Structure 1
Amino acid sequence: MFQPTWLPRRRPLLHKATFVASTVFAWLLFVHIHYLFAKPSTYTHLDETQLQVQVQEDETHHSFQSIDPCPTSREVLSIKAYEAMSDECVEEWVAHHQWSSACTGTNLSEGLKVDGVWAWVNGTDPLQIAAREQYKPGTAMKMDAAHRYVEHNELLYSMRSALTSLGNENMQRMHILASAYRHSNASGKMMTGQVPTWLEKAKALTGESAVVLHHDADYFKPIESPGTNLSSEKTQEWREAVLPTFNSLAVEAQIQNIDHVSSDQLVYFNDDFFTLRKLAVSDFTTPLYGPVIKTLTRFTSMYLPAKKTIWRTFNPAGEEPGIKRAAWVLGMRFSMRPYYYITHHPRTLWLPLLREAAQTFPEAFTNTPLSRFRAQDDVPASIQAVFLGSWYVVERHREALLWSWVVAKWGGTSGELSTMTKDDMWEELAGGTASSKSLLHISVPVRAPILDTEVFKKANISLPTSTEYSFSSKDGYALSYVDSMWPWNRPRHGYPDLTSGLMGNTSSQLTQDPNFVAANACVINRLTCFGVSQENETANDFFKRIAFENPRCGDCIVTALIGASGVSGIDKFLPDHLAGADSASYSDTLTSPPHLPLTSNWTTTDFSMPDAIPKGSLPANMTLRTWCIRLIQRYSYVLGSVESDLYKVERAGDLEVKMSEIELKVQEDGWARGPLTFLCLNDDIKDTGKLRNRIDELLVSFFEKMWPDRMNFEKED
């Protein structure tokens, strides 16, 4: 399963060769096309009186006065689901992965519900069509295809499907993110927002009902960089540059600003996403393991970081440019490495962590809406915010583990690592047996099963019905394991089974078989990772070297310490129970949750303890160990997989066959790998005329057959 450490690492070399060749070819082709067709970068910006569309308040529009909002707050949000756990319970669960007496009676209800969020636009609305024509770019670039805006009433049935799958008790509030367009009046602040034809508008606009209608003019906000202060004039200038928007990537980069949420935990849907069977909240998230992030780890699903991607020219409206740019933004903070695709079905986003990602990368999140259309090339490059926000959690967890071990545990209040201290650190990684060795061969850890059914039962949490928990952050850093495996040896979900070599029948009895020989995972080179051993250095410098400068060092150290912690828990990363922090770090009250610096570049960041611990995040009654555990817990996650299908709706004849196939796959025994759970019906219709009408008939018939039950905020017929 794992690539032996003495074999050459072929995958990165193959990636590099493929990447260089494809980049050279693409660049030559781009230069040729550019000189043939390039035009000056200007906008065809019509006068608003030329729109010739009557704007009025009716059942499908809402007129309102836009209030100039302030920039997004830089206040770091706590996670309510974790606040319910006492420090003693967190010690049990996070440090030792046990749900014992200290956790008995813990109320986890805040983590047992989600809010659904849908991005939606009615592209057949004359107001939307006119606005699109008004703001269309005047460059040679290809404008977004018209089918991105076509309305098939998918939103209604997508929301019905989610509510049918999860129930009102689990999905207590649903949010619709809609577009709004300016009136032509003197003040320029009157807006008309779109409203779905089937929605009871009065309920949706209160902000307190089961459904909330948000218009982009309400929640689109820039975010300030640290140390800057956006004036109201600058904020308004930004809003005028980004609104109205015709770009779903811009909407996704602003989700963290929506209000009236009933839960920290969001499930984000495109309006063509559908859920096909009964689901539990744990299919998306739990207060035990964190958000469930569903990824693909196929060779073709890997994205290399790119500051300026050639895909922006050849497939400007696709996801690739935003994903590659997001990977580059992550790499500037956490070290450059490939990342894998976040699957194209409902995605879990924890609002406090998405907000934190925006606070860490304010420029990326603020610049993305400057592209009114996906394909614009005369503005800063966009990011795919859902991709960035998902992998941000994974990277912050790795950072928290390594920081706790280097800076908090070994650096301590002095912040210095002597040669003797580094010898002790090496001994710990070697298991106390190989201090004279210059290379440590680290074995694959033997760990308890990811999903502990006993804990779910004790914590009164329903088990997932359809999602396979493929990897949990309790077992370290996910991507280091993937990198140790040959692509053809990866299981379907891409992550290894670490339970080989376990003995015992229950979670409390599990131990490692002393006769089990684990495969090699990686090698730690003392000179590369520890630097010149006879020299003292700061914990900050040591941490930055292994975490970012030589990331393979940090990856392998995480794997080593996970193995040293036993079959469960992360105890080896943590400072002693009596360890303290610098006295200046303590505060009378907790005003900020534990987190490390919200900076966008690791090279210019100081991670020493006094600078890394935010003032007001370490109350006087909290130990440094507990602070580190809370820090690590904040970024807990699960990587999972589920049976899903993405189908491009192109032709009526093919669609009719597909609908029959889907109905079969929904059945328990109708799908070889388990029942189909998620469906995306992507609109890429090629048919016209009567065949186009036939597609609409087939979709409506399928939708009504699958999800006939009305929601309580739909209009009466």
Structure 2
Amino acid sequence: MVTETEDVHAQVQEDETHHIFRSSNQNPMSRHPFSIRAYEAISNDCAEQWIAHHQWGPACTGTDLSDGLQVDGVWAWVNGSDPVQIAARQQYRPSKNMNMDATHRFTEHNELLYSMRAAVASLGPETMQRTHILASAYHGSNGSLHNMAGQVPFWLNKEEAFTGKGRVVLHHDADYFKPMAGSTTNMSAWEVQEWKDAVIPSFNSLAVEAQIQNIDHTCADQLVYYNDDFFTLRKLAISDFTTPLYGPVIKTLTRITSMYLPAKNTLWRYIKPAGEEPGIKRAGWVLGMRFSLRPLYYITHHPRVLWLPLLREAAQTFPEAFTDTPLSRFRMQDNVPASIQAIFLGSWYVVERHREALLWTWAVAKWGGLDGTMNDLKKERMWMELANEPTYSRSYLNIRVPVRAPIEDPNVFKSANISMPTSTEYSFSSKDGYALTYVDSMWPWNRPRHGYPDLTQGLLKNQNSTGDSTRESQHVRDPNFVAAKACAIVRSACFDSFSGNETASDFFKRIAFEQPKCGDCIITALIGASGPSGIDKFLPNSHTKLVSEAHTPAQSRPPHLPLTSDWTTSDFTLTEAIPKDSIKANMTLRAWCIRLIQRYSYVLGSVESDFYKVERAKTLEAHLNGVEQKLEEDAKGGSKGPLAFLCLNDDITETGKLRDRVDELLKDFFSKMWPSKLSFER
């Protein structure tokens, strides 16, 4: 007997809205870390000047940064009005009673087309050379996962979308969804197929986001991830999203209401299962098991920047979390492992890896050295370095907020031939240490809009001797300025009372993870001791070589520390933490550490955006009129900050003529704002 659902599937043919294909990809995700092409183009001498001293100096002249000045746009999309999708949702609905009141949120308003038009128009086709659509696919009529009916936007040129070489690539979840084997296990083709049987078809955006790292045919390492209800409202520069100088621009705010406490399991999974909060809290807990538990802040709800090699590395570090999330076909399932919010995890992963790289470089590489031991004399010297004076009798150090050069130095951007950001405020850069240390030292009501302090207070700017303001100028501290207290390093907690020898790995684990406040404050102290710019105080000398007979003759992996999900069982000794095939010939320990720190560079930023829930026709009309008025004010320079992004979140409950009016309003607004067709439209 053929069921109604099977009958719907049997009638699906290759047409303008469906692609019939056979899924045959049975490979798990690779565990091989990928290099970042933009950083590979930077020489060791240039990296020394830029990362160690924060100067785009003579060694950087002529560096080709083009690989870091392009992005691929990625859109998650589903046509919820498709009868095949509706039938599949009902067929795979869990047997346990589950509230599926969000059917109206799947309704198609053709948002994807205009979101893509807006993004490409904003950055230009030379910057966004390729776009990707992540679409759903459903079982064929015989129920086999291999025979699939994949959704296709009706306006898309399918011939271009499936070549993998044009301006657009259409990916179906049945192909790019891949599990990740554990660090000590392999997966057979049968095990991969069994996992795919359990996750496809998927109706969960969290599952899609946990698989972005598996897409292929990318032109750039840098991705900008959009939901199909994200719209870009003005011209933007590449530096509004990313640069090969500072890394990805991660947009977050530090309001109390935006703070999430990590939780292995959360009642929100049962109270509000369709929301993001359970996945965010779970992601915070997964990160905490590796980097120490701490509150983290929401990644704002507009286009998110993801560096593909780093997102893949996050999945390689946490294979279970990324592989388990798609097992929830629907967000609200509770009979499967808890899901993570992968965008949140992938973004904060970069921040935490940078913190780890700084502390490991100082504790293990610089002070532990080749012998890997910490004795009382060595710890005494480390303590004095932090204090910058003899402090034998002191049991704690009060560390003040560092005085640092501005993040956005126009001379640096000009020297590197990179345009300045047009709408994004660079709130904090990894060149100034660990962001959350400064947030913790401020009362919430004293935080500026973006949440981070201005570290340029107490800075004097000296022009170069020629008086030429177009050339790089130097910044020095005002000797009369006294910065506020940032934190304190307690000797007994951080240095274990200087009693007995221990390995550098164990010392590092204590300050980085077991007593995270120690590591946070040590970073702040060393940033301040390094002067207005650079991180020289963290780095070992330039003489220690890493080459030995055990190392491979050619570099095949990027510098990274152990890709392990639990810090307590990880080995951070110098000989074990450095992958042997990540060392180039004649590479010094200092150069390797600089490359390690550079890999996880980032900027925290903020931008003016508008998040609006589309619920009723009357209020929608008024809001869209307000958006147009704001854009007119921006064009005249009459507003405080240019509005860059708009999210029209579909939560419409109206029906009949009122629902038709919503569709009409959206259609008129979209066609008015973004009338120019893309090259891959039919």
Q: Deviations over 1:621-672 (max 9, x none)?
A: 1100000000000000000000001000011110111011000112315774
Q: Hey, what does 2:167 align to over in structure 1?
A: 210
Identical amino acids, percent of aligned pairs: 70
Instruction: Pick the aligned partner of 1:695 from 640, 662, 669.
Output: 662
8 Å CA contact retained: 1:330, 1:336: yes
Cα shift readout 1:128-170 (whole Å, capped 9, x = no counterpart):
1111111011212323611231100000000000011000010
Instruction: Compute the displacement of 1:220 (Å).
Output: 0.3
**Do the aligned partners of 2:181 and 2:319 also contact (CA within 8 Å) in 1?**
yes
Q: How does 1:227-238 map to 2 (within 5 A)?
A: 227-238=184-195
Alignment partner, residue 161 of structure 1: 118
Q: Is residue 490 of structure 2 the alignment partner of residue 525 of structure 1? A: yes
Matched-pair contact (CA < 8 Å) for 1:400–1:631: yes
Task: Spell out, residue by residue over 1:484-507, the C-alpha distance to the aligned partner (whole angstroms, 9 max, x if none).
Answer: 000000000001100000001455
Residue deviations 1:386-430 (CA, integer Å, cap 9, x gap): 000000000000000000000000000100011100000000000
Residue 296 of structure 1: how far off its partner (Å): 1.6
> Residue 710 of structure 1 aligns with which residue?
677
| Pairing 1:357-396 to 2, within 5 Å after superposition | 357-396=314-353
Q: Structure 1 residues 496 and 273, CA, compared in 2 at 3 Å: closer, same or farther?
A: same
Residues in 1 aligned to 2:462 and 2:580: alpha-carbon distance in whole angstroms: 46
Aligned partner of 1:101 among 58, 63, 72: 58
Partner of 1:657: 622
Residue 675 of structure 1: how far off its partner (Å):
1.6
User: Residues 188 and 107 from structure 1, CA distance in 2 versus in 1: closer, same or farther, beyond 3 angstroms?
Assistant: closer
Q: Aligned letter for 2:32?
A: E
- 1:437 pairs with 2:394: yes
Q: 1:562 aligns with which of 501, 516, 527?
A: 527
1:221 aligns with 2:186: no
Q: Classify 1:535/1:105 alpha carbon distance in 2 versus 1 (closer, same or farther; 3 Å).
A: same
CA deviation map 1:200-252 (0-9, x unaligned): 11111111000000000110000011010111111100000000000000000
Match of 2:468 in 1: none
Aligned pair partner of 2:214 in 257, 274, 280: 257
Alignment partners' CA distance in 2, 1:437 and 1:120: 60
Alignment RMSD (CA, Å): 1.4
Counterparts in 2 of 1:70 and 1:503: CA distance versus 1, 3 Å: same
Alignment of 1:439-588 (within 5 A): 439-506=396-463, 508-581=473-546, 583=548, 586-588=551-553
CA contact (8 A) 2:354 2:430 kept: yes
1:587 Cα offset (Å): 2.9
User: In the aligned structure 2, how far is the partner of 1:508 from the partner of 1:536?
Assistant: 45
Structure 1 window deviating more from structure 2 (141-150 vs 206-215): it is 141-150
Displacement of 1:52 in angstroms is 6.2
- In structure 2, distance between residues paired with 1:188 and 1:407: 49
Deviation at 1:432, TM superposition (A): 2.2
Work out the CA distance in 2 between the residues paired with 1:517 and 1:532.
30
- 1:132 and 2:105 equivalent? no
- Shift of residue 53, structure 1, vs aligned partner: 5.4
Give ranges in structure 1 of 5+ residues lacking alignment: 1-44
Counterparts of 2:650 and 2:285, CA distance in 1 = 30
Query: Matched residue of 2:581: which SS?
Result: coil
Instruction: Check 1:585–1:349 CA distance in 2 against 1; reply closer, same or farther (3 A cut).
Output: farther
Alignment match, 2:653: 686
Q: How does 1:295-334 map to 2 (within 5 A)?
A: 295-334=252-291
Is the 1:574–1:628 contact (alpha carbons within 8 Å) kept by the matching residues of 2?
Answer: yes
Q: Give me the whole-angstrom Cα distance separating, in 2, the residues matched to 1:187 and 1:57.
A: 17
Asked if 2 retains the 8 angstrom alpha-carbon contact of 1:92 and 1:100, the reply is yes
* Cα drift, residue 69 of structure 1: 2.5
Matches of residues 238-253 of structure 1 in structure 2 within 5 Å?
238-253=195-210
**Matched residue type, 1:683:** D
Equivalent position of 1:121 in the other structure: 78
CA contact (8 A) 1:470 1:495 kept: yes
Amino acid at match of 2:479: P
Distance 1:303 1:46, change over 3 A: farther
Distance across 2 between alignment mates of 1:537 and 1:177: 50
Shift of 1:171: 0.2
CA distance in structure 2 between the partners assigned to 1:404 and 1:46 by the alignment: 62
**2:360 match:** 403
- Tell me, yes or no, if the aligned pair for 1:116 and 1:174 is still in contact at 8 Å: yes
1:188 and 1:399 map into 2 onto residues whose CA distance is 42
Mapped to 2, the partners of 1:508 and 1:579 lie a distance apart of 32
Secondary structure of the residue aligned to 2:592 is helix
Contact 2:547 2:583 (8 Å CA) reproduced: no
CA distance in 2, matches of 1:233, 1:209: 33
Distance verdict in 2 for CA 1:52–1:528, change over 3 Å: closer
Deviations 1:249-280 (A, max 9, x none): 00000000000000000000000000000001
- Do structure 1's residue 110 and structure 2's residue 110 form an aligned pair? no
Partner of 2:467: none
Q: Residue 604 in 1 paired to residue 604 in 2?
A: no
Aligned AA (1:63): I
Task: State the alpha-carbon separation in 1 of the partners of residues 486 and 68 from structure 2.
Answer: 35
Match of 2:581 in 1: 616
> Does the 8 A contact of 1:66 with 1:217 survive in 2?
yes
For the residue of structure 1 that corresponds to 2:527, the secondary structure is: helix
User: Structure 1 stretch 133-142 or stretch 653-662: which is displaced more?
Assistant: 133-142
Structure 1 length normalisation: TM-score? 0.92
How far apart, CA to CA, are the structure 2 residues paired with 1:410 and 1:76? Answer: 27
| Equivalent residue runs for 1:414-425 within 5 Å | 414-425=371-382
Specify which of 588, 595, 605 is matched with residue 640 of structure 1.
605
In the TM superposition, what is the alpha-carbon distance from 1:509 to its structure 2 partner? 1.9
Amino acid at match of 1:688: T
Q: Matched residues in 2 for 1:211 and 1:93: separation?
A: 35
Matched residue type, 1:414: D
Looking at structure 1, the residues matched to 101 and 578 of structure 2 have their Cα atoms a distance apart, in angstroms, of 45
**Secondary structure in structure 1 of the residue aligned to 2:164:** coil
* Unaligned runs of at least 5 residues, structure 2: 464-471
Letter in structure 2 aligned against 1:174: T
Residues 1:103 and 1:585: Cα distance change in structure 2 (over 3 Å): farther
Letter in 2 for 1:448: A
Structure-2 separation of matches of 1:47 and 1:376: 24
* Distance across 2 between alignment mates of 1:221 and 1:584: 37
Distance 1:304 1:293 in 2: 19
Return the alpha-carbon distance in structure 2 between the equivalents of residues 373 and 257 of structure 1: 20
Question: CA 1:99–1:408 in 2, change beyond 3 Å: closer, same or farther?
Answer: same
Instruction: Go from structure 1 to structure 2 and tell me whether the alpha carbon gap of 1:247 and 1:165 turns closer, same or farther (over 3 Å shift).
Output: same
State the distance in 1 between where 2:144 and 2:326 align.
23
Cα distance in 1 for partners of 2:438, 2:605 equals 15
How many positions carry a matched residue from both structures? 671
Distance 2:384 2:4 in 1: 72
TM-score by length of 2: 0.97
1:332 is paired with a residue whose SS is helix
Measured in 1, the distance between the counterparts of 2:637 and 2:415 equals: 34
Name the SS for the 1:441 alignment partner.
strand
Is residue 140 of structure 2 the alignment partner of residue 173 of structure 1? no
- 1:9 is matched with which residue? none
Q: Distance in 2 between matches of 1:579 and 1:623?
A: 6
